[in-house]
Every structure is written in C-alpha cells, then in structure tokens.
Homo-oligomer: A and B are copies of this chain.
C-alpha cells in the first residue's frame, strides 16, 4: 500500500496519516517528492483492506500494490501445478482435450458424442445436466436424469466426466457421477458454492466470469484453494466487450498472464467465446499456440437439432480434425497431445 498525499497537504496532515497507521500497528516510510509526499505502508496491510484512507485530510489516493490471492499465485508454487483427474492430468506435458455436447439430451446423443470424442483421442467428456439459461422459457437440461447417462457414456469409452455444478446443494449427488466439476462463468463469484467446492476432493474447472478481471478470477480460485482443494484448472471462455461479431471476446492474452501470475493450469473454451462453429478451429489453435494446457470444445453429433447452444457446437469429425492439427503444432510449444 502506497499513499499519495495531495500537493496541498500540510506537515500536520502527513503526521496524522502516520499516526492513524501507527494505531493500526503499521509502520511508514515517508518520501517527500518535488510535487507531493508519498507514504509507504509497512506491515500486514490486510487490516486496511476496507479503510477509506482517501477520507483522511490531505490524502489524494491510496494505491494497493499487492494482489490479494496467495495460494493461487505463481510465487506460492513457482514450478506450476498439475491437476490430477484420476490417472489423467491437466497442466502436464500432455495437452488436455475435452469435448462433448452443451447439454446431455438423450442416451443416444451422449453415447454418440462420447464415441466421437474418444475417436479424436480426447480423454475427457463434457456435458451439462443442469443448465443455467438466460430465459426461464428455455430448455433447462435433463437435470438429475442426465448425470447417469453421461457417466455411462464416458465409461463406455474410457473417458473422464466433466459437468457443471450450479449449486452447493448438488455437490454430493452430482459428485457421485463426475470426475471434475465445472463452475460456469455466471457462478465464478458464487462464493458459497466455491467455498463448498474447496471442502470436497473433486477437481474443479473454474471458468472466468464474462466481466471478471484476471485478478478477480484468481481470487475466486483462492476461495476453493483456501478450503484445501488445490486441484483447480482455470478456463478462459471470453469476456464481454462492445464487439458483437462474436458471442464474447476470447482474451487470448489471459493465457500468458495467468502463467505469469498463477501456478494453476489454464485451458481455453473456444465455443462460448466464438458462439459460432465456424470460428472454433481458429480459436482452438490460437489457444494452444498461446500456451494453454488444453481446450474444452462443444461437440454434438447433430448440432442442427441441439437443444441449446446449437450454433457453436461442432461435429465429431471436425473435432477429430482439430485434434489432429493440435497434435501437429504441440511440439513447437514443447507439448504433446
């Protein structure tokens, strides 16, 4: 924390700020500059987190210069962390490919999707049972009926299951079917859900909120890790901007930024960012080239008749060709797929 005093601040103002900090148990370093005085705060500044220092006479502004997350920071585990999902890994040398439909719709559909995903060489099957939908009149998923179908399809093809969790009340029941919980963008700051996920042992795929900064996203990961669950993978899926040509704007630079700031693996979701099947291949390859640890793609055997997110789902054969391209560029990144 650094405090910038106004140009018009008096010696007395500066002394009062120092006194205020001293009473909170903090030390100060005072630098008198040409234009203004700067006060560096020394000690455990967490007690100042909510103190409006700008309200003290003579204070221009207080500038926090440290991040609030610790367990999720790169400094905490400089070598980086690998997430273990059963015998599979995300964040190791091998790139993680996750595919599957937006929603589980029927036994036939999910088995066909699983077959295609496995044929592409992917190791993870995604599929939503509980669907958060913008309008109350849209299809809301098969809910508890969808999970066993998803599990059976994955098992039939030797895949791990990734599925969205939308309420802390469902952790126990849904946890019996999935290998990895996915927290959707809308729930990235559902702190009660995050806290409960920190207390369970199942790995978590944490999507970035569409209006969340990278630091807020890492704060959200910190909620899970603070409970003891370090098996967290981040997923960049596009942020909301003024551009309407795509559903969201994939923040591709979040990949190297996360690699620099955090010890957690990060994957990219091209489907929700693009909102359009035609752009999936470009975004997937871009994600891998930027250094992501994998991708999660919506794959549906019959997108034209999908009950949700139809425009952005690709067919199994397109996913297969994409996986092949990823295998070809992986070595340039020092990876394999």
Q: Which residues of A contact B (CB under 8 A)?
A: 2, 4, 6-8, 29-36, 38, 40-44, 46, 49-52, 54-56, 61, 63, 65-66, 68-69, 75, 132-139, 166-169, 186-187, 189-192, 195, 209-211, 213-216, 219, 222-223, 226, 239-246, 249-257, 260-261, 273-274, 276-279, 282-283, 285-291, 303-312, 325, 328-329, 331-333
Contacts and interface: CB of A to CB of B under 8 A. Distances in A.
Contacts of A216: 134
A36 B42 CA distance: 9
12 contacts: A2-B65, A29-B40, A33-B43, A38-B40, A55-B303, A134-B189, A187-B190, A242-B242, A252-B282, A256-B279, A289-B289, A325-B332
A283 B42 contact: no
Given A253-B273, A311-B55, A285 B290 contact: yes
Given A134-B189, A289-B289, A291-B282, A2 B63 contact: yes
The A interface, classified by DSSP as helix, strand, loop or mixed, is mixed
Contact of A214 (B132, B136, B240, B243): B243
A281 to B, nearest CB: 8
Given A252-B252, A252-B283, A257-B246, A50 B213 contact: no
Nearest to A246: B253
Nearest to A130: B192
Contacts of A195: 136
A38 B65 contact: yes
A251 B244 CA distance: 12
Contacts of A132: 189, 191
A289 B291 contact: no
A245 B303 contact: no
A135 B290 contact: no
Contacts of A219: 134-136
A329 B244 CA distance: 30
A74 B276 CA distance: 18
This chain: copies in complex: 4
Contacts of A66: 4, 35-36
A18 to B, nearest CB: 13
Contacts of A256: 278-279, 282-283
A215 B175 CA distance: 34
Contacts of A307: 50
A75 B139 CA distance: 25
A245 B222 contact: no
A219 to B, nearest CB: 5
Given A38-B29, A134-B216, A332-B325, A211 B242 contact: yes
Contacts of A303: 52, 55
A319 to B, nearest CB: 16
A50 B300 CA distance: 13
A289 B285 contact: yes
A222 B63 contact: no
A167 B192 CA distance: 8
A134 B36 CA distance: 23
A222 B136 contact: yes
